[in-house]
Amino acid sequence: MVPEINSGDTAWVLTAAALVLFMTPGLGFFYGGFVRSKNVLATIMQSFIVMGLVGVLWVVVGYSLAFGPDQGGLIGDFSWIGLKDVSMEPSTIYAVTVPHEAFMIFQAMFAIITPALITGAFAERAKFSTFLIFMAAWSLLVYAPVAHWVFAYEGWLSAYDTDGLAKSGINALDFAGGTAIHVNAGAAALAAAIMYGKRRGYGVEPMEPHNVTYVVLGAGILWFGWFGFNAGSAGAASGVAANAFVVTNTAAAAAALAWVFVSWAMTGKASVIGAAAGAVAGLVAITPASGFVQPMEAIVIGGVAGTICYLAIRARARIGLDDSLDVVGVHGVGGLWGGIATGLFATATIGGVDGVFHGEPGQIVDQLVGIGAVATYSFIVTAVILKVLDLTIGLRVTDEEEELGLDVTQHGERGYVLDDGPGVPMYSPPVIVQAPASMPQAPSPEAAG
């Protein structure tokens, strides 16, 4: 059968791609609100610049490595380098009712946001020049191979086949990236938090979020964009896409409630940050399952995600790991639970595959193999990349630069320019701010209470 473009499918995939791209600046606001005011620009920049860096790398070589002709189930080759043979015509392999370029750009948005997720693990202490090299290396050496393993039809972990879900071997179900994106980023974040070390004053100085409104705004953007993330992964405007949309919203809602109620019971306060973080945890957990489970099961998946991710963050704080913005606790733990939950709750009536509770106990084994393989590979390769960079050009800013803040020392700008008095405009043309050793540090809002 010759592939034929369907205009409705194409419109949906392109819309979904735009929604997923919007998630990355949303992530910037989400992360930016958590850090101290002197680091807000640098934190947002780390998400924003990845859109440029990976946006170019994906077109030049990343897409070919992730989805190009298979090399032993491990990686693609260079046949599609520079998008050679990736055209306006449908792919004969992927998403056959949309132009190949539409599928490519949808996948580009996943390639962009995944390394951006890791940045929360080393917020407030990363040298920007090293950061750029790390993001480029990680995208090509970690994300591209893992995406091939999980998403490409011939990848060794993939459950998908051009003829449907009928592969032999490992069939690790991952509809929209719970393993390939969130477990992958979570394992890399753990390695990064260890390799970067703790922030100056961690555990001694106050490091409260400087702008909770940014946190909630970012979480709202992520929730909105996640409909493209999950429902767009159907590759068509179909019933599976509609189900993915419904369970995505349901799991996020359940997780937000669970996080708030559990933290309320343990601390006596209904946390605004908890509601935002809980929603993100639910979105993470439902991602691999969104094409395989029903709405009532999504409530369970989201409720458990909100609870265990909250407890994971409390445990992280007790052991003293400075995962600045809790990437491991939300994306790592949430992705782990989501992969397991997919193996438990998957039903053939939605995605063609049954899980443990629908008569296929072996599916959980495939899920655990996939999670374990991706987490181990990501952790080890990330640690090696960072060790090489640390020994050559250094990972961190100096102590003095960290004290002054990354906004000024790495970018020469400030996140907030306040009114200095009568006749002085609140905002003026950008001025490059120098950062001499004697420059005093203004008291931060969180330090003031």
Cα dihedral 338, 119, 26, 82 sign: negative
Tokens 């086949």 -> residue? 161
**Does 157 fall in a domain?**
yes
Residue 1 lies in a domain: no
Give yes or no for a contact between 175 and 288, defined as CB atoms under 8 angstroms apart.
yes
Tokens for 241? Answer: 């896409």
pLDDT digits (tens, 9 = 90+) for 262-274: 999 999 999 999 9
Give the mean model confidence (pLDDT) for residues 335-350: 97
Are the beta carbons of 238 and 245 closer than 8 angstroms? no
Residue 69 structural domain: 7-392
- Closest Cα partner for 346 from 287, 297, 281, 283? 297
The pLDDT of residue 3 is 79
- Tell me, yes or no, whether 20 lies in a domain: yes
Looking at the domain assignment, is residue 414 inside a domain? no
Better-scored residue on pLDDT, 258 or 170: 258
pLDDT, tens digit (0-9, with 9 covering 90-100), for 430-443? 444 444 333 333 33
Q: How confident is the model at residue 168 (pLDDT cuts 50, 70, 90)?
A: low
Q: What is the mean pLDDT of residues 241-256?
A: 98
Q: Which two tokens stand for residue 403?
A: 């004290």
Contact 256, 305 (CB under 8 A): no
Does position 447 have pLDDT exceeding 60, yes or no? no
Q: What is the mean pLDDT of residues 273-284?
A: 98
CATH no. for residue 62?
Answer: 1.10.3430.10
Q: How confident is the model at residue 163 (pLDDT cuts 50, 70, 90)?
A: low
Give the confidence band of 50 by pLDDT, cuts at 50, 70, 90.
very high
Give yes or no for a contact between 171 and 165, defined as CB atoms under 8 angstroms apart.
yes
Query: Which tokens hold the place of 93?
Result: 């392999």
Long-range contacts for 420-425 (Cβ within 8 Å, ≥24 apart)?
Answer: none
Instruction: Establish if 194 belongs to a structural domain.
Output: yes
The number of domains in the chain is 1
Q: Confidence band (pLDDT; 50, 70, 90) for 112?
A: very high
